[in-house]
Amino acid sequence: MSMTYKPVISATGLFTPQESITNEELVASFNEFVSRHNARFADEIAAGEVEALQPSSTEFIEKASGIKARHVMAKEPVLDPDVMSPKWPERSNDELSLMAEIGVAAAKRAMESAGRDAKDIDAVLCAASNMERPYPAMAIEIQQALGIDGFGFDMNVACSSATFGIQTAADYIRAGNARSVLVVSPEITSGHLNWRDRDSHFIFGDVATAVLVEDASLAPERHWEILGTRLKTVFSNNIRNNFGFLNRAHPETADAADKLFVQEGRKVFKEVVPMVATMILEEAERLSIDSQGLRRLWLHQANSGMNRLIAQRVLGHEASDDESPTVLDTYGNTSSAGSIIAFHKHNGDLKAGDTGLICSFGAGYSAGTVFVRKV
Ligand code: COA
């Protein structure tokens, strides 16, 4: 007799850093950096040799992105106009590393919420847009800290890492290779953000999420059936980060701004919105789901304008906050964790039979859809 396995989402977990930076605090620090820079290079600016930096504004940030604040792992150095980057004490190899620490915190909450014991989990995927080191894998450190027997590995698909992780986990379940898989997304995006870049200094925030993907036979009573998953990638240089271990071969440019997050925000906006809306509609059709009947969209949290347009194309009308909730205002863009935070915070009120969509999109380009139904 052949068994059929059915992947479901058993639970999610969220770790939110205590510290948070408001737009007002962020802009005050940025503008102080700008005036110091312009004063320092006043002669060169007057001679036309150096370009004067322009100040940032809270009005622009909120209007362009919907972001009002973001959580960070280290507020003080980020806001110090002389530093403007996160800093923390270096940890020895015997200590749990920072990404693993927050990943473990989110994972424990997901396990608790499902009533799941470590011995029942078969695999850990650490799916995030930046890893703290090349190896050993963050996932294996998280696996060890949680006391899980089995295997783990890291995967990076930028902002789509979590949905790619969910499909990978679901495929392990479907194939019978695992019955319970943790997908952990620790996103310390403050480390790859250029806090001195006016165009993007307001975008990102830090967080960690975890999703427990399991076979239905193992799942707690309250869970979400995974109706279908779809992944898509299309190469683009419009969101790029050139940081990497081969940079050591080019010491003269190793510290350049392109070793941090850079984007052509307008192009991203224009190209990604239609790509994602089309992908969602095609996948809904393939799964025989009426897209206009979707009860809720948990979209990637990068920009409220992008989400408004995508939700409108999918639902056929302007989405309410209830239909397409946002966490951008307090979390900012948390890369792959964004749609999972939205799902985690806004799924409790849905009823059995309600259908929704978790959807991510970002660098690569990469996009992932996970259609779910509450059981
Ligand atoms: N404060 C004040 N003004 C600013 C500013 C800031 N921090 N940053 C840019 N501006 C100005 C620009 O100089 C420009 O002025 P100009 O019209 O006089 O030239 C104007 O605001 C518009 O700038 P632009 O960069 O075109 O803004 P935008 O409306 O496209 O918004 C993004 C910028 C990044 C918020 C937007 O493009 C976006 O969200 N794109 C989606 C991509 C994304 O979020 N990706 C993340 C990874 S998934």
User: Over 90: is that where the pLDDT of 252 sits?
Assistant: no
User: Which three-class secondary structure state does DSSP give residue 210?
Assistant: strand
To the query of whether residue 159 is one of the catalytic residues in this protein, the response is yes
Alpha helices in 249-290 (DSSP H): 265-286
pLDDT cut 70: percent of the chain above it: 99
Distance 64 CA to ligand 1 centre (A): 6
Amino acid 182: pLDDT: 98
Q: Give φ, ψ of 174 to 5 degrees.
A: -60, -35
Q: ω before 331 within 30° of 0 (cis)?
A: no
pLDDT, position 248: 87
Catalytic residue among 73, 74, 155, 159: 159
Mean pLDDT value across the chain: 97
Alpha-carbon distance 67 to 269, whole Å?
16
Q: Which domains can be identified in the chain, with CATH numbers?
A: 224-374 (3.40.47.10)
Residues with Cβ within 8 Å of residue 96, at least 6 apart in sequence: 104, 141, 145
What six digits make up the tokens of 110? Answer: 């997901």
Distance CA 160, CA 164 (A): 6
Pairing of strands 262-263, 296-299: unpaired
CA of 265 to the centre of ligand 1 (A): 6
Q: Which atom in ligand 1 lies closest to the alpha carbon of residue 302?
A: 44
Report the candidate in 168, 157, 85 with the shortest Cα–Cα distance to residue 335.
157
Nearest CA to ligand 1 atom 44: 302
Model pTM score: 0.96
Q: Ligand 1, atom 21: nearest CA belongs to which residue? A: 60
Mean pLDDT within 232-256: 91
| b/e 277-309 (16+ beta carbons within 10 angstroms → b) | bebbeebbeeeebebeebbbbbbbbbbbebbbb
The pLDDT tens digits for 312-338 are 999 999 999 999 999 999 999 999 999
Taking only the tens place, the pLDDT of each residue in 143-180 is 999 999 999 999 999 999 999 999 999 999 999 999 99
What is the model's pLDDT at position 253?
A: 84
User: β-strand 239-240 against 69-71: which pairing, if any?
Assistant: unpaired
